């Protein structure tokens, strides 16, 4: 991509030769990835697109603040920063955590003290008013929700976080924009350029053909994938409004405010159909249009210059449409992500991408990169399967299905990492593979129904308190909402007043956290889990939340409890908090947990026990987890063959003599064992 003519042109764009060298060297390094991926998608349109992207990237490079340029250089010297064992994430809604962005900034001591190095603030870019899918219906990517603050507040918060070694993570919704977004408003007004930003059809012929193979994301309240809009008729041949003056070279063209009146309608009023995968007010973008790609490069670099270090690529699996498929995980998705990453690497190499792709293992690995894309797509992906299997195993007290599911994952690129979590802001969908289930003699459908019954409180003897979300009578699928503490039995135990049940619930929670903290990626703590917060049933009293019971597990932060919890070690919240802090300290001190190393299941002689092995250059680490409320005795030779005759438990600094006949694990006990050969 970098030829002599281009090199000469670049020199004229810089006043400082060092900046010119920096940009040119990065373009040399990542330019081929950018251009080849774009050519695979856009073909002959690529040269013109590359020219436009160079202008966008040069402008962003010149505008990048000095402290962020220094961070870029630091990250280039330590490219494994996301893989370090001291990397612990925290996920929160800014308003429910501290009211405003400035309020979040007032609680940085709390996050630092907990050991947080990565803060994901849930959608905070300006959404549409009213119903907005929890903030994922974005009306303006360059402004912040007015109740949270301003983009200047966002920049100030990012700077404060950087000063404490905490990376700011934001959602970037790629698949769709809000009905009220300027692009959608101008499309409805008949502007051909912006109609091409969306998938618009004059009648139901093509939408009907697509629907044959498309699933429904929200069958309860948003059935189907297309919405009729009366303003989307045939574009008339009336003269278009005069274009605004083109910006001068190096200036930023600002999007028109969403509230500005759109141009006069230029359609015949017959109406049309627009693709709306998630909700009628979220219009899917047409990524086959290179203009959409250029817009998002500009948006990413704008937000990166505001201090965003990690972008959670929301709904990334859905961005490419192909007739006759489910329109997810198409090859073009990975080409486009690789190209976006290359553009970001040229301007802001401190930035990382996290793929929000809740898909099967054989599809998920492509979001981290395979073959010529190996390690060049996203830097991180959610290990949703681990979360699902944790809850599945907790209910069944049988680890065999979990072992099969983990074995199904192909090795990830060593420069990438997983994001693991006990719970998140979303519901739990029971992504249990029929093939995995069959290999352990279980019916996949039957097990999914069991889990829905168990975690909704319907199964006899269950400890869980959850709510059914999005029941699909056609398939029988029932997803589940609920906080980690309520699903793990703490709510029921506290109501019963039984201290034994309370102790078991606390142990369950700490076991789940031990697995996610020990798996070897970035463990993501959802706000309030460190305090064992219970279901918040008051969500039903708010009209904007009542239709969506996922708000039951999005309680407001209890700052009174947070202030008191470390002095209340005997309470359930105190025990969970102290135990979690101990796990985080142990993780940071254990180099074997570097995320370049994979955790892989090894055979266990007892189905209640999960064993994960990590082969680090310092030696073998074996993690042993008891997923039952019973004491389990293992023959010591099972551990000895991995670790030698002596092993140390990194969670308790205990030494185990493995020459003896057996080793006993109490209820929900976790061991992180490092052998003597280390």
- Let me know: does 654 contact 636? Beta carbons within 8 Å: no
- For residue 438, how many other CB atoms are within 10 A of its CB? 12
Say how far apart CA 656 and CA 674 lie, in whole Å. Answer: 10
Q: Position of tokens 């976080």?
A: 161
Could you write out the DSSP letters of every residue in 550-578?
A: GGGG-PPP-HHHHHHGGG-TTSHHHHHHH
Active site residue 356: yes
Say how far apart CA 612 and CA 390 lie, in whole Å. Answer: 13
254: which DSSP letter?
A: P
Take residue 492 and report the two structure tokens written for it. 């029921």
User: Half-sphere exposure of residue 24, counting CA atoms within 13 Å on the CB side?
Assistant: 19
Cα–Cα nearest to 589, from 518, 669, 516:
518
Take residue 60 and report the two structure tokens written for it. 């962003």
H or E element, residue 657? strand 654-657
- For residue 408, how many other CB atoms are within 10 A of its CB? 15
Residue 103: burial class (beta carbons within 10 Å; 0-12, 13-18, 19+): middle
- Let me know: does 112 contact 547? Beta carbons within 8 Å: no
Take residue 278 and report the two structure tokens written for it. 């998630």
Sign of CA dihedral 275, 316, 100, 544: positive
H or E element, residue 91? strand 89-92
Q: Which of 140, 356, 427, 629 is catalytic?
A: 356
239: which DSSP letter?
A: P
Take residue 600 and report the two structure tokens written for it. 């892989």
Q: Which of 72, 314, 379, 404 is catalytic?
A: 314
218: which DSSP letter?
A: B
Take residue 4 and report the two structure tokens written for it. 């002599």
Cα–Cα nearest to 583, from 511, 667, 631, 532:
511
The CA-atom distances, in angstroms, between 631 and each of 303, 450, 646 are 51, 25, 22
Q: Which residues are known catalytic residues?
A: 314, 356
């Amino acid at each position: 991509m970098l030829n002599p003519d281009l090199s000469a042109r670049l020199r004229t764009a810089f006043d400082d030769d060092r900046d010119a060298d920096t940009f040119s060297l990065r373009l040399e390094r990542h330019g081929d990835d950018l251009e080849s991926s774009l050519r695979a998608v856009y073909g002959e349109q690529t040269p013109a697109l590359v020219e436009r992207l160079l202008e966008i990237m040069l402008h962003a490079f010149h505008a990048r603040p000095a402290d962020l340029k220094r961070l870029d250089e630091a990250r280039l010297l330590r490219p494994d920063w996301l893989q370090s064992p001291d990397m612990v994430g925290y996920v929160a809604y800014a308003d429910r955590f501290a009211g405003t962005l400035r309020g979040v900034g007032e609680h940085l001591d709390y996050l630092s003290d907990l050991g947080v190095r990565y803060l994901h603030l849930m959608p905070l870019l300006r959404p549409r008013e009213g119903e907005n899918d929890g903030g994922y219906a974005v009306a303006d990517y360059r402004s912040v929700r007015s109740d949270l603050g301003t983009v200047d507040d966002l920049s100030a918060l990012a700077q404060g976080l950087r000063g404490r070694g905490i990376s700011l993570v934001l959602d970037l919704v790629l698949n769709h924009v809000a009905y009220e977004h300027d692009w959608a408003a101008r499309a409805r007004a008949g502007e051909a350029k912006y109609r091409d930003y969306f998938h618009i059809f004059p009648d139901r012929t093509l939408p009907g053909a697509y629907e044959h193979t498309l699933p429904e994301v929200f069958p309860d309240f948003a059935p189907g994938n297309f919405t009729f809009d009366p303003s989307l008729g045939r574009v008339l041949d009336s003269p278009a409004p005069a274009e605004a003056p083109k910006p001068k070279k190096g200036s930023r063209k600002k999007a028109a405010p969403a509230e500005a009146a759109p141009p006069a309608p230029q359609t015949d009023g017959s109406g049309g159909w627009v693709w709306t995968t998630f909700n009628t007010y979220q219009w899917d973008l047409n990524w086959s249009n290179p203009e959409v790609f250029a817009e998002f490069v500009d948006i990413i670099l704008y937000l990166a210059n505001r201090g965003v270090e990690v972008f959670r690529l929301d709904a990334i699996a859905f961005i490419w449409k192909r007739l006759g498929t489910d329109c997810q995980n198409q090859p073009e998705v990975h080409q486009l992500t690789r190209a976006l990453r290359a553009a970001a690497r040229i301007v802001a190499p401190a930035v990382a991408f996290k793929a929000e792709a809740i898909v099967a293992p054989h599809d998920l690995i492509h979001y981290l990169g395979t073959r010529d894309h190996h390690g060049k797509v996203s830097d991180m992906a959610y290990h949703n399967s681990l979360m699902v299997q944790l809850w599945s195993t907790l209910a069944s007290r049988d680890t065999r299905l979990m072992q099969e599911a983990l074995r199904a994952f192909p090795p990830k690129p060593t420069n990438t990492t997983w994001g693991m979590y006990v719970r998140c802001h979303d519901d739990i969908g029971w992504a249990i593979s029929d093939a995995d289930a069959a290999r352990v003699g279980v019916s996949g459908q039957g097990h999914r129904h069991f889990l829905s019954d168990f975690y909704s409180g319907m199964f006899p003897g269950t400890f869980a308190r959850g709510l059914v979300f999005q029941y699909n009578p056609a398939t029988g699928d029932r997803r589940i909402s609920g906080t980690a503490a309520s699903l793990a039995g703490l709510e029921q135990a506290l109501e019963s007043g039984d201290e034994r049940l309370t102790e078991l619930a606390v142990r369950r929670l700490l076991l789940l956290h031990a697995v996610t903290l020990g798996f070897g990626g970035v463990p993501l703590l959802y706000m309030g889990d460190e305090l064992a917060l219970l279901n918040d049933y008051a969500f039903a009293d708010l009209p904007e939340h009542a239709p969506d019971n996922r708000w039951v597990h999005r309680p407001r932060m209890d700052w009174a409890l947070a202030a008191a919890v470390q002095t209340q070690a005997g309470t359930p919240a105190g025990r969970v908090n102290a135990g979690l802090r101990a796990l985080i300290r142990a993780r940071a001190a254990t180099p074997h947990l570097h995320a370049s190393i994979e955790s892989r299941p090894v055979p266990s002689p007892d189905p209640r026990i999960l064993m994960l092995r990590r082969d680090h250059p310092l030696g073998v680490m074996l993690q042993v987890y008891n997923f039952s409320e019973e004491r389990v005795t293992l023959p010591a030779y099972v551990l000895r063959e991995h670790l030698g005759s002596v092993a140390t438990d990194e969670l308790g600094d205990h030494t185990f003599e493995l020459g003896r006949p057996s080793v006993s694990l109490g209820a929900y006990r976790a061991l992180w064992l490092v052998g003597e050969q280390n």
